[in-house]
Amino acid sequence: MTPPVPAATLILVRDGRRGLEVLLGRRSDRAAFGGVHVFPGGLVEELDHRSDVPAVGGSEPDRPFQVAAVRETAEEVGLFVVDGPVPPGAMGMAGAELFAALAATGIRFDLDRLSFVSNWVTPEAAPRRFDTRFFVARGDDLPPPVALTGELADPVWVRPGDALGRAETEEWRIVLPTRKHLEMLEGFSDAETAIAGLASTASRKRTIPRVVRTGSEVRAVLPGDPGYEEAE
The total number of structural domains that make up the chain: 1
92-120 confidence digits (pLDDT tens)? 999 999 999 999 999 999 999 999 999 99
Does residue 178 sit within a domain? yes
Write down the pLDDT at residue 231.
64
Cα atoms found within 13 Å of the Cα of residue 207, Cβ hemisphere only: 19
Does residue 46 sit within a domain? yes
Does residue 15 sit within a domain? yes
Does residue 225 sit within a domain? no
CA 141, 8, 11 angle in degrees (round to 5)?
35
158-213 confidence digits (pLDDT tens)? 999 999 999 999 999 999 999 999 999 999 999 999 999 999 999 999 999 887 77
Where are any strands of DSSP class E within the chain?
5-16, 19-27, 37-38, 41-43, 55-56, 109-110, 115-121, 130-138, 152-158, 210-214, 217-221
Does residue 217 sit within a domain? no
Does residue 210 sit within a domain? no
Residue range of the domain that includes 77: 5-204
Does residue 228 sit within a domain? no
28-82 confidence digits (pLDDT tens)? 877 666 789 999 999 999 999 999 999 999 999 999 999 999 999 999 999 999 9
Residue 24 phi, psi (nearest 5): -130, 155
* CATH code (residue 58): 3.90.79.10
3-state helix, strand, coil in the chain (%, to 5): 25, 30, 45
Does residue 229 sit within a domain? no
